[in-house]
Amino acid sequence: MTENTQATTNWTPRPPQWIWMDGRFLDVTAAQASVLSHGLHYGTGVFEGIRAYSTPEGPRIFALDAHLDRLRRGAECLGLAVDLESLAWACQEVLTRNGLDAAYIRPLVFQGMGGLGLDLGAQRQHSVVAAMPWRSHLGGAAAARGVKATIAAVSTLRRNRAAAIPPLKLTGGYVNAVLAKRAAAAAGFEEAIFVDDEDRVCEATGENVFAVFGDHVVAVTHPDALPGITRRAVLELARGEERELSRAELLVADEVFLTGTSAEVTPVRELDGKRFPEGAVTRRLQAAYQDLVHGRAPRTAAARPGAGRAGHRMPQQPRAAAPPPSVQVTT
């Protein structure tokens, strides 16, 4: 694996040693799929980005059920069968095997070899869970200093329409985000925010958008935006409002910030030349979110899956005997 050296995409500094694939833990070099995998050619896969946080009681996985619930919904779109119990167990176990506590966890389920036609069914399916040492994809300093974002540099690009590709974490859909990220980086920006044909704000390439007017917090709604798990948690913490927002309104907000599993709560310090001063509301929500994910604050309903399984229980190894769980899961 080659480390991405682009300033805005600090990805994994070193690959993990152990990867869970199709029910087994394998050395990263042994976890392989065919170059004729359907998912490689057509993006027929679904993934999640989940985080585990280091706490005095050991690693804590935040909102695991909500993430797996969203993965299940994406898998259904592509006719992928997912064993949620196995995936939940693997998300926990991959941390232990790699000796990680603060980590990014990446489950991925995709269509493998078995035909390159656009009809699905004959393909073998693969499930993978990887964990890697944590580094923000917006860069480690982004939470503190904020990001320099643009709408203008990507104004000819549109977010995938929900009517074309459902706003879930389908692998093929992310080409859209990569194109926007490339255009933004080429113009000297760290992040791109999509607007639609009516100039309504949609989302960033890997985050949802919030605006603050005085003390009032607005979580931007848009039918083409991913229903973010961090967004729901932060909206609940902020006791804010959900509504559509135009580009013009965003530019006159007192504060703008982005939310995502990776970005957490990241201020936008500049948007197309408009500078936003360091915002007290954003800072307060950053702190509240850190308390939540580190288990220092009561659980929010928002971090639980909307229509998911009721309650939560520690994932257990579905087949052979599991070692005693050493990882907690917070909802």
Ligand X SMILES: Cc1ncc(COP(=O)(O)O)c(C=O)c1O
Residue 289 Cβ, how far from ligand X at the closest point, in Å? Answer: 11
To ligand X, the closest distance from the beta carbon of 208 in angstroms equals 5
- In the bound state with ligand X, the residue whose beta carbon lies nearer, of 18 and 210, is 210
Q: How far apart are CA 95 and CA 106, in angstroms?
A: 11
**Cβ distance to ligand X smaller for residue 10 or 259:** 259
User: For residue 185, which of 155, 149, 159, 160 has the smallest C-alpha distance?
Assistant: 149
d(CA 203, CA 187): 19
**Least distance CB 203 / ligand X (angstroms):** 5
Residue 36 token pair: 């004729």
Smallest separation, CB 7 to ligand X (Å) = 20
Give the integer Cα–Cα distance in Å for 32 and 39: 13
Q: To which H or E segment does residue 60 belong?
A: strand 60-62
Q: How many C-beta neighbours within 10 Å does residue 306 have?
A: 12
Distance CA 181, CA 187 (A): 10
CA–CA gap between residue 287 and residue 265 (Å, rounded): 9
Nearer to ligand X, 190 or 207 (CB): 207
Distance CA 247, CA 199 (A): 6
By CB under 6 A, name the binding residues for ligand X.
49, 177, 203, 206-208, 226, 228-231, 259-261
Least distance to ligand X from the beta carbon of 172, Å? 13
And the tokens for 47?
């993934």
**Residues 6 or more apart whose Cβ sits within 8 Å of residue 51:** 61, 62, 102, 103, 104, 105, 134, 261, 262, 293
Q: Is 123 helix (H, G, I), strand (E, B) or coil?
A: coil
Instruction: Please state the closest distance from residue 114 (CB atom) to ligand X, in A.
Output: 28
Residue with Cβ nearer ligand X (49 or 325): 49
CB 203 within 8 A of CB 226: yes
- Would you state the structure tokens that stand for residue 31, as one six-digit string? 């976890």
> Residue 191 Cβ, how far from ligand X at the closest point, in Å?
11
Q: What is the smallest separation between the CB atom of 21 and ligand X, expressed in angstroms?
A: 22
Secondary structure of 7-46 as H, E, C letters: CCCCCCCCCCCEEEECCEEEECCCCCCCCCCHHHHHCCEE
Least distance (Å) from ligand X to the CB of residue 221?
13
Minimum CB distance to ligand X smaller for 26 or for 162: 162
Closest CA to 303 of 315, 291, 293: 293
Q: Of 123 and 209, which has the nearer Cβ to ligand X?
A: 209
State which residue, 165 or 327, has the beta carbon closest to ligand X. 165
Nearer to ligand X, 190 or 203 (CB): 203
Q: CB-wise, 112 or 173, nearer to ligand X?
A: 173
